[in-house]
Structure 1
Amino acid sequence: MPNKIAFNETYPDITQSDKLYNRAQKVQKPVTQTLAKGPGQFTKGVAPKYLVKGKGSHVWDVDGNEYIDYNSAIGPVSLGYAYPAVDNAIKRQLEDGITFSLMHPLEVELAELIQEVIPNAEAVKISKTGADVCSAAIRVARAFTGRDKVFCCGYHGWHDWYIGVTSRNAGIPAAIQDMTYTFEYNDIESISAALDETVAALILEPFIFEAPKPGFLQELAVACRENGTLLIFDEMWTGFRIAAGGAQEYFDVKADLAVFSKACANGMPIALLTGRADVMELFNSQVFSYTTFGGEALSLAACIATINELIDKEVPKYLDEKGALLKDGYNWLVTELGMGKYTRCIGFNCRTMVTFTPEAGNGLEVKALMQQEMIKRGVLWAGFHNMCFSHTDEDINYTLAVYRDVLPLVKTAIESGNIKSYLKGEVLEAVFRKVNDYNIKPKAVTTA
């Protein structure tokens, strides 16, 4: 019998997952299309590898095992799996067609809606993926400013201009790598000192898990404006979650450009770039950024339906309230169980992360142990609480009961000094290492 949402006696049977994985290894390199969904992020030997169904906040793997899902498809599921209002909008559009040889009216309708919701949306560009709009924002910023250098903080996709600052930079010319520099979040003094006349754009996630210091984002906007550098907010995670208008609304600050994707269409592939009209005007003549599947109508319909639901149902407020129950509940349990020196849950309530201190030992080992025990009990867990509108009080109460059951086991393993002996599967893999050469002053141009 497949495992259910219960304190199951055995780890889930993943026979069919493993069969598919073995087939994939023969024909796919890599076997996953999204790194965070791949087998390296879930302990091999215990965790499922393939999901086939989702409903609300629950998912089912290919072997029939059921789980509460706190990954939310790595962010895009903001309302819930198979959410009726969105699925019905997709079905209605499907009857008329998916993609066409000319533009579709829904493009105009969506852009008008975005302009009402996003504070800096003097103009709107619609694309398909987060990496696309991040790179489009960088390209148009370089064109507008006539500069080349970029400062970044956070994760901004797979394209050359960004991934060159990570350890997975093979295939990227050194000249491209030398145009991008990283900076430390919340350090306005060093950022201001490093900005100069060569910096076209500064791009950051308004927050990841650490909160901005009071005034940091506003001061950053001023520093960029005074330097002639365009400020870009990467709102893939913050957009439509922290507030309907994203971090710009929540923190009352405007960026020159902003990019969105994950939460705005409840799983359908679409991305948005918003910004100043004078900057965005360059897409009409000087800057090229187009895609074959731009204007694909199912995603447009889903995006409009999702945003309307997010606003009408006050979903950001719901995510905040329910996410607080999980975060605060976890931290209360940690204190009660005497584990404060080992672990804590951090972040804004809509998206929180369970962290482990150096005192806990090897972070990937302890995370793998926590993961295998959560999965055994019917919670698909990767260290995050990516909240969606379908997460219920029942889900949250059950998850906290699981944490109460699992945390003492984790504590015992940590204090034994041999966490690996408690693992039934393999240790998790690191995604990639970011190179933290913060606040590198752009290299001075020398002349002979």
Structure 2
Amino acid sequence: MNASRQEYDVDDADDAGSRPGLAPSYPDITRSNALFERASGLIPAGTQTLAKGPQQWVRGVAPKYLARGRGARVWDVDGNEFIDLVMGVGPISLGYAYPAVDRAIAAQLAEGITFSLMHPLEVEVAELVREVVPGAEMVRFSKTGADVTSAAVRLARAYTGRRKVLCAGYHGWHDWYIAVTDRSAGIPEEAKDLTFTFQYNDLATVDDALDDDTACVILEPTVFEPPAPGFLEGLRELCTRRGALLVFDEMWTGFRLALGGAQERFGVTADLACFSKAVANGMPLSILTGRRDVMRLCERDVFFFTTFGGEALSLAAAKATIEEIRDLSVPARLAQQGRKLKDGYNTLARALDMPYTTCAGLDCRSIVTFSGPEPLVMKSLVQQEMLARGVLWGGFHTMCFSHTDADVARVLAAYEEVLPILKDAVSRGDLALRLRGEPVEPVFRKTHNFHVKPKPRA
């Protein structure tokens, strides 16, 4: 089709009865756009969290600001209602405005937030974490995932007397990690020469990269690809044999894949493990745990203290959240509901003979992938049409305890309408013409093949 995007119209005669139609209307985002205009030139990139920013959403169609949430539903500033499959980019494990957590926060708020001395919740939540997380002999709290992964790296360097780090996954914004991406401006070359990556599920790349100056191997134990048989066990043995610490970044797996995270699920205990996101149902808290002989370095030799580490609202939320996850078998429910979406999507795609799209990953958090020359445009078209059908969709199924059977059914009903539109656009070669705005962008232009064998020590 040779028409411009502006000329493409769902009411064209060619559409009538011969092709699946686009949505008759899209969300009114007038207030979202006005707010974003105010942010222009004031907030870098317009957002505090890149995954929430307009670059990850079809501009001109997607809302930019959410005003409130309840259960698995959210409402934007223009009043549009959506089933949320993003869940705050991970932290909402139970649901928005979840009563048990909100009651705990409100009760603590009436007593105070941050104090001049330590608060009992620091002990109570640490004991609870030690109870449910394998290998959690000591516990330190902070605020963000990047805090605790960076603290883990510092501890590993102090404990081993070594400098280099091997990583696989996303680990935050600090120098030691972001040096391996294409957003590494401002990081000294000396820091860049100390971090290297390896291929997930490929023990040979780890063995090849490990040397006598490797302090730790840090990885997300699983993201969407499951660990191959023996991979995590092999990492454990390899690190032990070569004198490097094994660190699990459990931001996504902790308290979601299982109560005790990937260590519980896969039966492999790391030397250090890092948690955040799901542990406090939206309140800012991160946790570093691990071996006592390593963690004790935080008492004197390694400085990792923060003013807000003992902030009581987040600790109250974490205590209530962990207890709900434990007592209500939340991980099993997340897996059950997520499996329905994953299997339902794949059933629809197979029935429509669409081999270029599939849903893969964990039951509790899966990803919809697209292959071909324009995968981001394909994703954008699906996102645009899911938004029009009341689903806040960023390409993932991030489940929370509040996702009901009716929510799952509604999402699958939306896919039943949207996938034929995608198939028709692919077959006609007019994907971009069906977008009502600019397509989504990748977070990193360079997203794989980072592995570089560490340079020998001079």
TM range (shorter): over 0.9
Distance in 1 between residues matched to 2:334 and 2:166, nearest whole Å: 31
Instruction: Provide Cα deviations, 1:381-439, integer angstroms capped at 9, x if missing partner.
Output: 00000000000000001100100000000111111112110001111111113464454
Please state how far the C-alpha of 1:189 moved relative to its aligned partner: 2.1
Q: Which moved more, 1:410-419 or 1:121-130?
A: 410-419
Distance in 2 between residues matched to 1:8 and 1:97, nearest whole Å: 49
Secondary structure of the equivalent of 1:203? Answer: strand
1:293 corresponds to which of 293, 308, 314:
308
Q: Is 1:352 equivalent to 2:366 in the alignment?
A: yes
Distance in 1 between residues matched to 2:282 and 2:265, nearest whole Å: 23
Instruction: Provide Cα deviations, 1:3-44, integer angstroms capped at 9, x if missing partner.
Output: xxxx97410100000000000103222310000000010111
Distance in 2 between residues matched to 1:445 and 1:295, nearest whole Å: 40
- Asked if structure 2 preserves the Cα contact closer than 8 Å seen for 1:191 and 1:439, the reply is no
- Asked if structure 2 preserves the Cα contact closer than 8 Å seen for 1:119 and 1:254, the reply is yes
Q: Is 1:111 equivalent to 2:123 in the alignment?
A: no
- Asked if structure 1 preserves the Cα contact closer than 8 Å seen for 2:23 and 2:385, the reply is no
Residue identity in the other structure for 1:45 = G
Q: Is 1:42 equivalent to 2:57 in the alignment?
A: yes
TM, length-normalised to structure 2 = 0.94
Residue identity in the other structure for 1:346 = A
Residue identity in the other structure for 1:130 = G
Distance in 1 between residues matched to 2:39 and 2:325, nearest whole Å: 37
Distance in 1 between residues matched to 2:410 and 2:448, nearest whole Å: 39
- Asked if structure 2 preserves the Cα contact closer than 8 Å seen for 1:181 and 1:439, the reply is yes
Q: Is 1:393 equivalent to 2:408 in the alignment?
A: no
1:102/1:8 Cα in 2 relative to 1: closer, same or farther (>3 Å)? farther
Secondary structure of the equivalent of 2:277? Answer: coil
Instruction: Provide Cα deviations, 1:175-207, integer angstroms capped at 9, x if missing partner.
Output: 100100000001112312321111001000000
Secondary structure of the equivalent of 1:26? Answer: coil
Residue identity in the other structure for 2:308 = F
Residue identity in the other structure for 1:400 = L
Distance in 2 between residues matched to 1:244 and 1:433, nearest whole Å: 34
- Asked if structure 2 preserves the Cα contact closer than 8 Å seen for 1:40 and 1:428, the reply is yes
Distance in 2 between residues matched to 1:344 and 1:364, nearest whole Å: 14
2:454 corresponds to which of 438, 442, 446:
442
Question: After the TM superposition, which parts of structure 1 deviate over 2 Å for at least 4 consecutive aligned residues?
Answer: 433-441
Instruction: Provide Cα deviations, 1:52-83, integer angstroms capped at 9, x if missing partner.
Output: 00000000000000000000000000000000
1:404 counterpart residue number: 416
Instruction: Provide Cα deviations, 1:147-179, integer angstroms capped at 9, x if missing partner.
Output: 000000000000000000000000000110010
1:431 counterpart residue number: 443
Distance in 1 between residues matched to 2:310 and 2:422, nearest whole Å: 49
- Asked if structure 2 preserves the Cα contact closer than 8 Å seen for 1:140 and 1:287, the reply is yes
1:78 corresponds to which of 85, 88, 93:
93
Distance in 1 between residues matched to 2:434 and 2:42, nearest whole Å: 33
Distance in 2 between residues matched to 1:435 and 1:146, nearest whole Å: 30
Secondary structure of the equivalent of 1:323? Answer: helix
Distance in 1 between residues matched to 2:441 and 2:23, nearest whole Å: 26
Q: Is 1:343 equivalent to 2:360 in the alignment?
A: no
Q: Is 1:177 equivalent to 2:189 in the alignment?
A: no
What pairs up with 1:225-264 in 2 under 5 angstroms? Answer: 225-264=240-279
1:382 corresponds to which of 378, 382, 394:
394
1:155 counterpart residue number: 170
1:438/1:31 Cα in 2 relative to 1: closer, same or farther (>3 Å)? closer
Q: Is 1:369 equivalent to 2:381 in the alignment?
A: yes
Please state how far the C-alpha of 1:293 moved relative to its aligned partner: 1.2
Secondary structure of the equivalent of 1:322? Answer: helix
Instruction: Provide Cα deviations, 1:233-281, integer angstroms capped at 9, x if missing partner.
Output: 0000000111000000000010000000010000000000010000001
1:131 corresponds to which of 138, 146, 153:
146
Please state how far the C-alpha of 1:231 moved relative to its aligned partner: 0.2
Distance in 2 between residues matched to 1:290 and 1:232, nearest whole Å: 20
2:433 counterpart residue number: 421
Distance in 1 between residues matched to 2:189 and 2:108, nearest whole Å: 46
- Asked if structure 2 preserves the Cα contact closer than 8 Å seen for 1:198 and 1:442, the reply is no
Residue identity in the other structure for 1:431 = V
Distance in 2 between residues matched to 1:234 and 1:32, nearest whole Å: 24
Q: Which moved more, 1:217-226 or 1:192-201?
A: 192-201
What pairs up with 1:28-67 in 2 under 5 angstroms? Answer: 28-67=43-82
**Alignment gaps of 5+ in structure 2:** 1-21
Please state how far the C-alpha of 1:441 moved relative to its aligned partner: 2.5
Percent identity between the aligned chains? 60
Secondary structure of the equivalent of 1:273? Answer: strand
Secondary structure of the equivalent of 1:264? Answer: helix
Distance in 2 between residues matched to 1:45 and 1:268, nearest whole Å: 30
Q: Is 1:68 equivalent to 2:83 in the alignment?
A: yes
2:17 counterpart residue number: none
Q: Is 1:122 equivalent to 2:134 in the alignment?
A: no
Residue identity in the other structure for 2:70 = K
1:305 counterpart residue number: 320
1:436/1:371 Cα in 2 relative to 1: closer, same or farther (>3 Å)? closer
Residue identity in the other structure for 2:349 = V
Q: Is 1:282 equivalent to 2:316 in the alignment?
A: no
Secondary structure of the equivalent of 1:152? Answer: strand
Distance in 2 between residues matched to 1:48 and 1:28, nearest whole Å: 18
**Alignment gaps of 5+ in structure 1:** 1-6
1:259/1:43 Cα in 2 relative to 1: closer, same or farther (>3 Å)? same
1:8/1:82 Cα in 2 relative to 1: closer, same or farther (>3 Å)? farther
